[in-house]
Amino acid sequence: MTSQLERHDITAGLYIFLQSNSKRWYARFSLNGKWLSRTTKEVDKDRAIAMAHRILMEYEIRAKTNTLTTSKRFKDVATKAIATMKHDIERGAGKAIYSDYIAALEKYHIPFFDRTFVTSIDNDKLREFDIWRENLLKRKPARSTLMTHNAAMQIVFKEAVDSKWMLAVQVPTLTTNGTTSARRAAFTPAEYERIQDQLYEMELSSRKEVTRQIRELTQDYAEFVIHTGIRPGTELDNLTWGDIHMERQDDKATFFISVRKGKTTLHTGTREVVCKRAIQQIIFRIAKRFPKRQANDLIFRLPNGEITNEISRTFNAALKEINLDNSPQGKRSLYSLRHSFITWELIAQKVTIDVIARQCGTSIEMIERHYSHVIPRMFSQQLSGVNLPQKQEIESRWEVREKLNKIWAERYIKWEKNIARRGCI
């Protein structure tokens, strides 16, 4: 049996402790009247305290933005959905088709999915269900049957979303022909944080300085993609300091990036990308490594000025280490960060599809074809602000550390002087 060896109180409702079965500190905190424990992954006490603050902040944000969920098993959610439909039928507000939905759920879906958590139902599980149903029917179901079954499932998923047992982005794509849509492999915000944590741990454990520098640069590279949607590879690799522009008003600034070389620029010319606010921290981090930077200098290079081809390999190594390299939609890579940017923007509903298409240098048709699973339809209300609410952006770990307006105002002024003097921030 494990026992608590040591405890250190940080603030009211937050402390760290050591257990007899681990050398790493755990953080325990109170959230909405409940106590939660999470590992800090840190052996050093001071680093564990810092990580505990960060964990608490993350969970507070998730609680405020409805991204903190406790899942339920399918049978429980389906039973609640059936009860709701029966109640609607009794009071005359239900649809006639509800009887068919209830029959489908009770005969097919509940027996198969039963105690499976609704958040665990993905395309692979749905394919298993398709095979099981065909064996039960001893034939392939008609398209009308599939449409009825899918509608019944959507009722269950809607119940799960309404009850905050599931995020709308976790709702799988249902089809009527047994095939999956051309969905792009992406990451959830939580998965992205795990990737950055892994890259940071890899940086700390580097034996050679050049290896550490590459892993540090990989973190910055990933942050650039996730906050701009710029394509990894030619587009990002050819960015120079002169391509970054800034418009300032007091202690607030908006950053723009001119993409001059890449997949579509030959036909469309230079495109202007609007950056998320968190990009300023990454720019600051990289700029500190190049105090004598010039407008024509590449942004993504090592401190000695050399470029490296190891960023993609380093990122893939981090994915493999934490088992995030594969997904139901296929292999994931640096390019999946761009898909994540588009997916998160669609979920946030901050801008229309045509604006996202222009930002990312692609077509509306491509967005609709590959990201239809997150384009708001029956979940439009639930999708509003689920993962990236209007008052929140996915902020990097570095931005959280320095938020004082005065500090940033001073940096903006300094960068404006740099632009006037040498043509770049």
Least confident among 9-13, 343-347, 349-353:
349-353
Name the range with the highest mean pLDDT among 59-68, 71-80, 350-359. 71-80
Query: In this structure, are residues 126 and 74 in contact, taking their beta carbons and an 8 Å threshold?
Result: no
DSSP three-state, residue 16: strand
Q: Give me the percent of the chain exceeding a pLDDT of 90.
A: 48
Question: Three-state SS for 273?
Answer: strand
Spatial distance between the Cα atoms of 386 and 65, rounded to a whole number of angstroms? 6
Over the chain, what is the mean pLDDT? 84
Burial bucket for residue 202 (CB in 10 Å: 0-12, 13-18, 19+): buried
Q: Is the pLDDT of residue 172 over 70?
A: yes
Confidence of residue 380 (pLDDT cuts 50, 70, 90): very low
Query: Which structure tokens are listed for 72?
Result: 């339920």
pTM of the model: 0.54
* Helix ranges, 264-404 (H): 265-268, 279-289, 311-321, 335-348, 353-360, 364-370, 380-383, 397-401
What's the pLDDT band for 374 if we cut at 50, 70, 90? low
Tens of pLDDT along 233-264? Answer: 989 999 999 999 999 887 788 999 999 987 66
**Does the structure show a pLDDT above 60 at 395?**
no
Could you tell me how many residues make up the chain? 425
Which residue, 191, 251, 182, 255, is CA-closest to 222? Answer: 191
What is the distance between the alpha carbons of residues 131 and 137, in angstroms, rounded to a whole number?
A: 10
Residue whose structure tokens are 């200098």:
297
What angle do helix axes 335-348 and 209-228 make, rounded to 10 degrees?
A: 30
